[in-house]
Amino acid sequence: MATSPLSVEVHNPYGRFRVISTKPMPGSRWINILVDAGCRVEVCTEKKTILSVADIKELIGSKCDGVIGQLTEDWGDELFAALKAAGGHAFSNMAVGYNNVNVEAATRNGVAVGNTPGVLTETTAELAAALTLAAARRVVEADSFMRAGKYDGWLPTLFIGNLLKGQTVGIIGAGRIGSAYARMMVEGFKMNVVYYDLYQATRLEKFVTAYGKFLESQGESPVTWKRVSTVEDVLRLADVVSLHPVLDKTTYHLINKDRLALMKKTAIIVNASRGPIIDEVALVQHLQANPEFRAALDVFEDEPYMKPGLSDLPNAVVVPHIASASKWTREGMATLAAANVAGKLKGCPVWHDANNVMPFLDESSKPPAASPSIVNAKNLGLKILTAAKL
Ligand code: GLV
């Protein structure tokens, strides 16, 4: 077996399949799943945050059956060809998003591409809610002020922010995460919802209607929802706008200079999806010109970098892509990524419902004999479990 100059930690050295994880991942269940499937697991422990394509090729070497990779890595033709040449046919991103993966290239090379949906929803939505509150109530600015020893007494005008109750939260992309965030803002802060999505968010609409009726029955003002037909409508109407679309050619720089100009002067924009959804240079200029406008960002256009000027702005809250960083979610993502690879190597079918993956996460029972989510399963002709066969 080829040895790699990058440092690795080996589990189950005599396993028949060689599987690489490009990073150590939280928890141990993921390693157990791979070991139980007969894999030798090599975890790259190199002290380098982002591995290059060349690094990963070295790790793959001349014999490798499967890889678990990270969203910071460029999984294109070169890596999938290298994996195929090493005899591999299983890959999983440890992420729900896979804009770093060229799925067509993987399919061409006969490699299955897994992702990890169904385990990030609430955790990501909670971070978007935390960012919203931090921006609305200027928590980060106030924290820095305290630490700098500047607080010399209560003042009626100190760090005045925005009240969320009764305001409108705008959702762009009302899928699982966008809808979960909207529910939190409705239920927690009694905000009204305006949303834009190609698909109707029926469950969200029903929830807001029912909650509105409940509030009315208690003698309180109801909450409302409205589905609009353009992104611009959301931007004009909302006091807080949270972005939850997938990143593709149609959503690159969805929020640009002209669209920012449509927003209220005191609005807040939240991004916990992908950085390039916002033209970050335009956002910096907008924040500079509109000190009452706020942005709260988990993701950046050129991660790990920020565009010049962003870090100097008091009206921006910035955190390092941690939306999915709860213990439960990160351990769950690792488990799903391992189950994707193990399932493919063992020749198991693909799970029938990628959004309902709880059976893989329940530690008290054996995970189902399936790969939880393979995005190119159909194109590769992989067998998909039918609910009846469970
Ligand atoms: C995190 O950003 C993910 O897509 O899983």
Task: Give 47-76 pLDDT, tens digit per residue.
Answer: 999 999 999 999 999 999 999 999 999 999
Q: Which ranges in the chain belong to alpha helices (H)?
A: 29-36, 53-60, 77-85, 103-108, 121-136, 139-147, 176-189, 202-217, 231-237, 257-262, 280-289, 327-346, 358-361, 377-380
Verify that 30 and 112 share a domain, yes or no. yes
Determine phi and psi for 110, rounding to 5 degrees: 70, 25
Verify that 16 and 74 share a domain, yes or no. yes
Task: Give 83-135 pLDDT, tens digit per residue.
Answer: 999 999 999 999 999 999 999 999 999 999 999 999 999 999 999 999 999 99
The per-residue pLDDT for 5 is: 84
Q: Is 275 helix (H, G, I), strand (E, B) or coil?
A: helix
Query: Which is the catalytic residue, given 176, 286, 321, 330?
Result: 321
Which among 212, 131, 124, 135 has a CA at the least distance from the CA of 173?
A: 124
Q: At what angle do helices 202-217 and 176-189 cross, to 10 degrees?
A: 10
- Whether the predicted model's global pTM rises above the 0.85 cut: yes
Cβ–Cβ contacts within 10 Å for residue 374, how many? 26
Please identify which residue in the block is written with the tokens 């007969």: 38
Distance, CA of 93 to CA of 72 (rounded, Å): 10
Report whether 93 contacts 75 (CB < 8 A): yes
Please indicate, yes or no, if residue 1 is contained in any of the structural domains.
no
Please indicate, yes or no, if residue 226 is contained in any of the structural domains.
yes
Please indicate, yes or no, if residue 3 is contained in any of the structural domains.
no
Task: Give 9-52 pLDDT, tens digit per residue.
Answer: 999 999 999 999 999 999 999 999 999 999 999 999 999 999 99
**Domain limit, last residue, from 318, 349, 379:** 318
The per-residue pLDDT for 386 is: 79
**Domain limit, last residue, from 283, 318, 353:** 318
The per-residue pLDDT for 389 is: 53
Find the domain containing 49 and state its range.
8-119+325-389
Cβ–Cβ contacts within 10 Å for residue 185, how many? 25
The per-residue pLDDT for 53 is: 98
The reply to whether 292 belongs to the active site is no
Distance, CA of 109 to CA of 248 (rounded, Å): 22
Distance (angstroms) between ligand 1 centre and the Cα of 355 equals: 15
Number of domains in the chain: 2
Distance, CA of 45 to CA of 10 (rounded, Å): 10
Which among 225, 199, 197 has a CA at the least distance from the CA of 211?
A: 225
- Which structure tokens are listed for 57? 């090729």
Please indicate whether residue 120, judged by its CB atom, sits closer than 6 Å to ligand 1: yes
Verify that 152 and 71 share a domain, yes or no. no
Verify that 18 and 150 share a domain, yes or no. no
Protein residue whose Cα sits closest to atom 4 of ligand 1: 97
The reply to whether 274 belongs to the active site is yes
The reply to whether 203 belongs to the active site is no
Verify that 343 and 363 share a domain, yes or no. yes
Which among 253, 197, 263, 203 has a CA at the least distance from the CA of 230?
A: 197
Verify that 243 and 294 share a domain, yes or no. yes
**Dihedral over Cα of 128, 134, 135, 136: its sign:** positive
Please indicate, yes or no, if residue 30 is contained in any of the structural domains.
yes
At a CB cut-off of 8 Å and minimum separation 6, what does 319 contact? 127, 131, 297, 298
Verify that 295 and 377 share a domain, yes or no. no
CATH number at residue 256: 3.40.50.720
Verify that 171 and 313 share a domain, yes or no. yes
pLDDT higher than threshold 60 for residue 1: no
Distance, CA of 235 to CA of 125 (rounded, Å): 20
Please identify which residue in the block is written with the tokens 């589905």: 227
Please indicate, yes or no, if residue 147 is contained in any of the structural domains.
yes
Residue 354: pLDDT band (50, 70, 90) is confident
Please indicate, yes or no, if residue 191 is contained in any of the structural domains.
yes
Which among 45, 39, 112, 126 has a CA at the least distance from the CA of 80?
A: 112
Give the DSSP letter string of 228-272. Answer: -SSHHHHHHH-SEEEE-PPPSTTTTT-B-HHHHHHS-TT-EEEE-
Distance (angstroms) between ligand 1 centre and the Cα of 336 equals: 13
- Which structure tokens are listed for 355? 């959004």
Protein residue whose Cα sits closest to atom 1 of ligand 1: 95
Query: Which is the catalytic residue, given 138, 244, 274, 286?
Result: 274
Verify that 313 and 375 share a domain, yes or no. no
Compute the mean pLDDT over every residue in the chain, rounded to the nearest whole number. 96
Verify that 342 and 270 share a domain, yes or no. no
Burial grade of 226 (CB within 10 A; 0-12, 13-18, 19 or more): middle
pLDDT higher than threshold 60 for residue 3: no
Q: What is the mean pLDDT of residues 234-254?
A: 97
Please indicate whether residue 96, judged by its CB atom, sits closer than 6 Å to ligand 1: yes
Report whether 112 contacts 89 (CB < 8 A): yes
**Ligand 1 atom with minimal separation from the 273 CA:** 2
Q: What is the mean pLDDT of residues 228-234?
A: 98
Report whether 33 contacts 367 (CB < 8 A): yes
**Domain limit, last residue, from 318, 348, 372:** 318
Distance, CA of 331 to CA of 262 (rounded, Å): 40
Verify that 152 and 98 share a domain, yes or no. no
Please indicate, yes or no, if residue 2 is contained in any of the structural domains.
no
Helix (H) / strand (E) element for 90: namely strand 90-93
Report whether 132 contacts 164 (CB < 8 A): yes
Verify that 234 and 345 share a domain, yes or no. no
Q: What is the mean pLDDT of residues 211-238?
A: 98
Please indicate, yes or no, if residue 182 is contained in any of the structural domains.
yes
